Structure 1
Amino acid sequence: MTSRVYAYLRASTKEQDAARAKSELEAFAHEKSITIAKWFIENESGASLARPELLRLIDVAQPGDVLLVEQVDRLSRLNAEDWEKLSSLIKFKGIRVVALDLPTSHMLIQNGDEFTSRMMDALNSMMLDMLAAIARKDYSDRKRRQAQGISKAKAEGKFRGRQSDTEMHKRILKLRAAGMSYTDIHETTGVARSTISRVTKLQNQI
């Protein structure tokens, strides 16, 4: 049975890099002469295990199939307990994780002999655990610095909270008025569908 390659793209509502990441994965697939069977795309935090599209990918994948991501932190910024749950689920399904920023995983695209495959699986699993831990640390450090910055700004009377992107909101409303769907607007602007929905609902309430 031929293994299938499923690409996973995740961008939080603050990061609009899904289009760039998709181009990177397409270039990698072309270089390795592989076909991406299906794309799974969502706007969710990597620190949350509640990611419907990732779980749907894992559900449909069969043993030996490939989960392709641009970077390990697209797959996980989870704490240790949640990462263990996710990695155990991936291992249980027999899915091979290939990440562009993890060169040792690239060999998993090709099926080798049993010994080589087992050695590469073991090495890749160890490297995945390490990079997942680093991604979590980076996430925690950034959140801590943000909290410290907000506390300092509040103490100095400078904190004003998150400000709306007025110009982008105007553009979203114009595109909606022109008849564009949420998907079309997302692909055009890079803005998360949840933001598009929120802006549209606020306008309807006026």
Structure 2
Amino acid sequence: MYIFAYLRASTREQDAKRAKNRLQQFVTERGHRIASWYIENVSGASLQRPELMRLLENAAPGDAILIEQVDRLSRLDDDGWKLLKELISSKSISIISLDLPTSYVALENHRGDEFTAAMLRAINSMMLDMLAAIARKDYQDRRRRQSEGIVKAVEGGKFKGRQPNILMHKNVIKLRLHNGMSIRETASICGISERQVIRITQRHLSNSDPEGKGVDDEANSI
């Protein structure tokens, strides 16, 4: 049996590798090794997860997926979770989650007691479904509270939306308008797209020239 560790965080600002030491210690204490790591920053509410799909492609019957918590594997709705479970079970892959002790049975040898093994698998499947449902509800609750907070902030005049990177905007204007660099050169230096350079410059010119003179020429100058 190969053990494949899966680490996930929702955004690039979060550290997907945060639980790596915990997973490593878990398998080491039980006399096993992690064959490979699959790490990605993507929402658990979506099945569009390249690393998870790559893990499932590489795994063979009898292998196991190791996760820190069930919500690292799924914050999917009922249909999404059902599909993911089918993908996993179709290859006879076990799920081992640190927050679900009944899942540890995958690391144990119950060949001499098939009844016990079957019972533990059934219990583990039920617990996985329950924790996946809890993870989904937590996701929905957080999204609802976030939406309610934004509505309240808007009503109170406190929500301004996503704020621009002022320093980056100043650099774009300086390079583009003061130093005469091309849109392509400016985008390369600032690490942004050419479209962003055009948008920032147009906004600056519009604010400086309320009648909008020269804006079209600026957008066409690469």
TM-score (norm 2): 0.72
Residues in 2 aligned to 1:127 and 1:164: alpha-carbon distance in whole angstroms: 45
2:107 matched residue in structure 1: 109
Report if the CA contact (8 A) 1:108-1:120 is conserved. Answer: no
| 1:23 paired to 2:60 | no
| 1:153 paired to 2:143 | no
Q: Which runs of 5+ in 2 are unaligned?
A: 169-188, 198-222
Residue correspondences, number: 174
Residues 13-61 of structure 1, C-alpha deviations (whole Å, 9 max, x = no match): 1652323211111111111111100001111100001111111111111
CA gap 1:128/1:166 in 2 versus in 1, 3 angstroms: farther
2:192 matched residue in structure 1: 202
CA gap 1:134/1:166 in 2 versus in 1, 3 angstroms: farther
Report if the CA contact (8 A) 2:12-2:41 is conserved. Answer: no
CA gap 1:123/1:45 in 2 versus in 1, 3 angstroms: same
Residues in 1 aligned to 2:83 and 2:161: alpha-carbon distance in whole angstroms: 35
2:72 matched residue in structure 1: 74
TM-score (norm 1): 0.78
Aligned ranges 1:1-206 → 2 under 5 Å: 3-13=1-11, 16-113=14-111, 114-163=114-163, 201-202=191-192
Q: Which runs of 5+ in 1 are unaligned?
A: 170-198
Q: Secondary structure at the match of 1:202?
A: coil
Q: Secondary structure at the match of 2:81?
A: helix
The CA RMSD measured in Å over matched residues stands at 2.3
Report if the CA contact (8 A) 2:16-2:40 is conserved. Answer: no
Which stretch shows the higher mean deviation, 92-101 or 14-23? Answer: 14-23
Please identify runs of 4+ aligned residues in structure 1 that moved more than 6 A.
164-167
Report if the CA contact (8 A) 1:6-1:37 is conserved. Answer: yes
Residues in 2 aligned to 1:107 and 1:165: alpha-carbon distance in whole angstroms: 51
Report if the CA contact (8 A) 1:108-1:117 is conserved. Answer: no
Structure number, greater radius of gyration: 2
Report if the CA contact (8 A) 1:67-1:98 is conserved. Answer: yes
Residues in 2 aligned to 1:101 and 1:72: alpha-carbon distance in whole angstroms: 7
Q: CA offset at residue 12 of structure 1? A: 1.4
Residue type matched to 1:202 in 2? I
CA gap 1:124/1:165 in 2 versus in 1, 3 angstroms: farther
